[in-house]
Amino acid sequence: GQNIDQPTEMTATEGAIVQINCTYQTSGFNGLFWYQQHAGEAPTFLSYNVLDGLEEKGRFSSFLSRSKGYSYLLLKELQMKDSASYLCAPTDSWGKLQFGAGTQVVVTP
Amino acid sequence: GAVVSQHPSWVICKSGTSVKIECRSLDFQATTMFWYRQFPKQSLMLMATSNEGSKATYEQGVEKDKFLINHASLTLSTLTVTSAHPEDSSFYICSARDEPSGQETQYFGPGTRLLVL
């Protein structure tokens, strides 16, 4: 079965750092995606983790622990445009993504 | 990065008509594409997996005769909503799987908003 858990909402100020945690229980787990979705738009790709550890891409970093069924997305130097929903999506070997409800990040001035 | 397009971006139709949505990978070949549906303030729900040259695989609860999927080439998949009804009004999004050099990535199209009157 599939079970994905991430916080519903997080609020932070411009310039701050926010960490979005995600725990999952997925059969046939292959890797984990993080996507950003602005209201009314389709998701945009942020990262994909297959191996344990931290992957850094500019202001965004993503971490994966396969044994713990745990991942986090780290957003640094927050900007107003980072206000969006962030989706944790584990995938199986067929590439099928399962989405949780997402975490709404609100960036305040 | 890779680009996936969808057409149309918006469609309004009368109840009972059929609507065809196209999903194209513009600069890579996608043997696998996925179709999702998203209702307001809800998460994306996978509808079906579309494989080039074979029949689509539908998720539980998705009617295959109502949502016809055709993956005619490595860059094009189509979703046809047959005999659409108001409850089919939703945001339909496709994604395409890109596996260059074994590095998995999935890119989403911009989505198609369907409103059935």
HEC per residue, chain B: CCCEEEECCEEEECCCCCEEEEEEECCCCCCEEEEEEECCCCCCEEEEEEECCCCCEECCCCCCCCEEEEEEECCEEEEEECCCCHHHCEEEEEEEEECHHHCCEEEECCCEEEEEC
pLDDT at A106 over 60: yes
pLDDT at A9 over 90: yes
Buried b / exposed e along A17-38 (16+ C-beta atoms within 10 A): ebebebbbebeebebbbbbbbe
pLDDT at A2 over 90: no
User: How does strand B112-116 pair with strand B10-13?
Assistant: parallel
Q: Which pLDDT score is estimated for B40?
A: 87
Cβ distance of A102 and B43 shorter than 8 Å: yes
CA distance B11 to B115: 6
Token pair 């513009």 in the structure block, residue: B26
H or E element that contains A106: strand A103-108
From chain B, the residues in CB contact with A35 under 8 A are: 108
pLDDT at A1 over 50: no
Q: Which pLDDT score is estimated for A92?
A: 85
Cβ distance of B44 and A87 shorter than 8 Å: yes
User: B1: nearest CA in chain A?
Assistant: A45
Condensed to tens digits (0 to 9), the pLDDT of residues A70-100 reads: 999 999 999 999 999 999 999 988 788 888 8
Q: Which pLDDT score is estimated for A83?
A: 97
User: B94: nearest CA in chain A?
Assistant: A42
Q: Which amino acid makes up residue B67? A: F
Series of mean pLDDT values for 10-residue runs along chain B (117 residues) = 88 96 91 91 90 89 94 91 96 87 78 96
Q: What integer best gives the mean pLDDT of chain A?
A: 93
CA distance A44 to A54: 20
Q: Return the residue in A8, A94, A103, A104 with the most chain B beta carbons within 10 A, the one to mutate for interface testing.
A: A94
Cβ neighbour number for residue B59 with a 10 Å cutoff? 14
User: How does strand B76-81 pair with strand B90-98?
Assistant: unpaired
Cβ distance of A97 and B105 shorter than 8 Å: no
Distance from A25 to chain B by nearest Cα, in Å? 17
Q: Which pLDDT score is estimated for B97?
A: 86
From chain B, the residues in CB contact with A87 under 8 A are: 43-44
Whether omega for the bond prior to residue B8 falls within 30 degrees of 0, making it cis, is yes
Distance from A40 to chain B by nearest Cα, in Å? 9
Any B CB within 8 A of A3 CB = no
User: A104: nearest CA in chain B?
Assistant: B41
Cβ distance of A45 and B108 shorter than 8 Å: yes
Distance from A39 to chain B by nearest Cα, in Å? 9
